[in-house]
Amino acid sequence: MKLSISLFITAILTSASASNVLELNPDSWDDVVGTGKPGLVEFFATWCGHCKNLAPTYEQVADAYSHVKDKVFVAKVDADGVGKELGRKYGVTGFPTLKWFDGKGNYEPYESGRDLESFTSFITEKTGVKSSIKPPPPPSYRILDYSNFDEIVLDPKKDVLVTFTAPWCGHCKAMKPAYEKVASIFETENNCVLVNVDADDKKNEALKTRFGISGFPTIKFFPKDNKDGIAYEAGRSEADFVNYLNEKCGTQRSVNGGLLDTAGRLADFDVLANKFFVASGDLRDSIHKEALALSSTIGDASKHYIRIMEKMVNGTEAYYEKESKRLESILKKRTLAPAKLDEIKIKSNILRAFSEKPKEDSESNIRRAAAEL
């Protein structure tokens, strides 16, 4: 009985410590590397803090390719211990050092990020073998590198916010959820764009130097009229990003998604809309004509004001109530595409202008009352 328990405990401990990362040494190296199968090798030191931080992710990388061990390997060598000879042979001067070996044993430095996604993307690109990890959905922001940065960021028709980050950076990781949320909010704004650059990736070294990136994250705003970039110095919350972009891009996005209640509103037409709403008969017709004349100088932005007036010019008050309820119901359900919801929100905002006292009038009344005291 005691023997059975002992074997059981041994089996559990063996299972718990099992790893898909191959541990190589000078004796086993030639049995794995250069034998026809490519692989990634980490040269580490047991005392190295960065190596310890990398270890959980590196285990995940090996697990992600455990189903194709006959096609690719993931290994490590204690290059400051039993494998010091191998470290010297392959020019290892710091830890961890990662190198990619092809099937013939030819090698190159691994210089991409040290997060799971970067590792798996690199290995899949090199081998054509897919990992067992389901890729996350693409972010709402654009991921750029040296090859397409200028095309997007320097476009004179676009205002662009750029985060220069590093995969290992804790502050970058903390900021990522808020940045993703804000990017989703601005997804329908074609000329106000949010992007990200891995400035720690060696292939983007020129971009890092060009824009003086010395710490992470560094955030720069590239407006249409200044493609040298402006340092972003506001906060990193969703509200901070949204308020900044609304000011710089001239947009009217809400932190909760969608548009603000002011989106689509025109001050001069708000005044006419309210006058029209409280007027009757011939006076409505006169205001309608005034709005038409003003519309000819403004264009498409005023069209919905005119359309509502035409619906109500003959005194069809029921239209206002019915349309308000219809638009409110659509916005509440949020089943339409974001661009369509924006269109509905603007219509709702403009319709509401007919029954609201214009802001300027309200402020004037307050000033007048104060003067009379």
Active site members: 48, 51, 169, 172
Instruction: Count CB atoms within 10 A of the CB of residue 207.
Output: 21
- Tokens encoding 141: 């922001």
Task: Report the C-alpha gap between 216 and 86 in whole angstroms.
Answer: 33
Task: Report the C-alpha gap between 100 and 169 in whole angstroms.
Answer: 24
Q: Judge contact between 162 and 223, C-beta under 8 A.
A: no
- Tokens encoding 318: 């029921």
Reduce the secondary structure of the chain to three states and give it as a string: CHHHHHHHHHHHHHHHHCCCCEEECCCCHHHHCCCCCCEEEEEECCCCHHHHHHHHHHHHHHHHCHHHCCCCEEEEEECCCCCHHHHHHCCCCCCCEEEEECCCCCEEECCCCCCHHHHHHHHHHHHCCCCCCCCCCCCCCEEECCCCHHHHHCCCCCEEEEEEECCCCHHHHHHHHHHHHHHHHCCCCCCEEEEEEECCCHHHHHHHHHCCCCCCCEEEEECCCCCCCEECCCCCCHHHHHHHHHHHHCCCECCCCCECCCCCCCHHHHHHHHHHHHCCCHHHHHHHHHHHHHHHHHCHHHHHHHHHHHHHCCCCCHHHHHHHHHHHHHHHHCCCCHHHHHHHHHHHHHHHHHHCCCHHHHHHHHHHHHHHC
Q: Judge contact between 57 and 114, C-beta under 8 A.
A: yes
